[in-house]
């Protein structure tokens, strides 16, 4: 098991922003978050799907992508530690993206120690084991050989493929139950046991909540992060308490 990660407090956790030019309210909320609440943090953890999609680090010169990367770099330069775990929409974010933004890339899952609190971080899609077709797709696109072959294609071809894949995904979701697309309780218990019964934070399902799991006689808290729309939402940890923050919309 990899060595546990340490970071500065207070720590903020976000995921599933799905940033895109055609969602300006969410973009504005993100930029406001980076200029405001995030500046008061010791560390910020982004647990996947920051972008609606990321076609490869060679797409960083697109004006929108460059703007988002510059905003993250400004936060990093201010002294806040930034950590990034890719999700299913941005799994092609790599070392060049990390260098440009000043972020550290994390494997999924990653174990974090903040004070006396042990926290397991994940995007969450690996825990949706009832969705067999998705898990087969996930294994394919997470394979390094597949990614290398895909990234060797022209950027325009990659973007066209991703756009078609997004449409297929939306159609497939309409044919699946919410239960199938949610995490599997057994898979959650397995990973909590494997990592020594920590707290668990993940996103992906867009079903924000606090869950309590009883595993081997121990209580383990699981926090599901919210997706973003026209306002910012995050989970904070100050070394003692977790707090889900959903600011009042104005």
Task: Kindly report, residue by residue over 126-144, the tens digit of the pLDDT.
Answer: 999 999 999 999 999 999 9
Residue 6, domain member (yes or no): no
Residue 1, domain member (yes or no): no
And the tokens for 55?
């076609």
Rounded to two decimals, the pTM is 0.95
pLDDT the model gives residue 1 = 64
Per the annotation, does 131 bind a ligand?
Answer: yes
For 121, the domain range is 11-245
Per the annotation, does 176 bind a ligand?
Answer: yes
Q: How far apart are CA 236 and CA 10, in angstroms?
A: 7
Residue 98, domain member (yes or no): yes
pLDDT the model gives residue 165 = 86
CATH number at residue 180: 3.60.21.10
The domain total for the chain is 1
Per the annotation, does 123 bind a ligand?
Answer: yes
Per the annotation, does 206 bind a ligand?
Answer: yes
- The sign of the CA dihedral 149, 155, 161, 165 is positive
pLDDT the model gives residue 3 = 81
Determine how β-strand 11-14 pairs with β-strand 43-46: parallel
Decide: 218 and 102 in contact? Cβ < 8 Å: no
Per the annotation, does 169 bind a ligand?
Answer: yes
Per the annotation, does 88 bind a ligand?
Answer: yes
Evaluate if residue 205 carries a pLDDT over 80: yes
Per the annotation, does 173 bind a ligand?
Answer: yes
Per the annotation, does 65 bind a ligand?
Answer: no
Over residues 53-110, the pLDDT tens digits come to: 999 999 999 999 999 999 999 999 999 999 999 999 999 999 999 999 999 999 999 9
């Amino acid at each position: 098991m990899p060595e546990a990660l340490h970071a500065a407090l207070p720590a903020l956790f976000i995921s599933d922003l799905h940033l895109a030019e055609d969602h300006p309210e969410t973009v504005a909320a993100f930029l406001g978050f980076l200029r405001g609440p995030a500046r008061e943090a010791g560390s910020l953890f982004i647990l996947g799907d920051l972008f609606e999609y990321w076609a490869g680090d060679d797409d960083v010169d697109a004006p929108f992508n460059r703007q988002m990367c510059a905003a993250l770099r400004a936060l990093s330069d201010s002294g806040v530690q930034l950590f990034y775990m890719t999700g299913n929409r941005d799994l092609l974010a790599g070392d060049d993206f990390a260098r440009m933004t000043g972020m550290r890339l994390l494997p999924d899952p990653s174990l974090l120690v903040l004070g006396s609190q042990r926290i397991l971080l994940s995007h969450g899609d690996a825990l949706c084991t009832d969705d067999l077709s998705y898990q087969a797709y996930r294994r394919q696109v997470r394979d390094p050989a597949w990614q290398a072959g895909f990234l060797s294609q022209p950027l325009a071809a990659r973007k066209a493929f991703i756009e078609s894949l997004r449409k297929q995904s939306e159609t497939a979701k309409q044919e699946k139950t919410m239960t199938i697309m949610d995490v599997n309780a057994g898979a959650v218990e397995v990973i909590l046991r494997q990592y020594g019964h920590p707290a668990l934070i993940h996103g992906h399902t867009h079903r924000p909540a606090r869950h309590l799991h009883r595993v081997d006689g121990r209580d383990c808290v699981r926090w599901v992060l919210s997706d973003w729309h026209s306002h910012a939402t995050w989970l904070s940890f100050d070394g003692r308490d977790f707090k889900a923050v959903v600011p009042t919309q104005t």
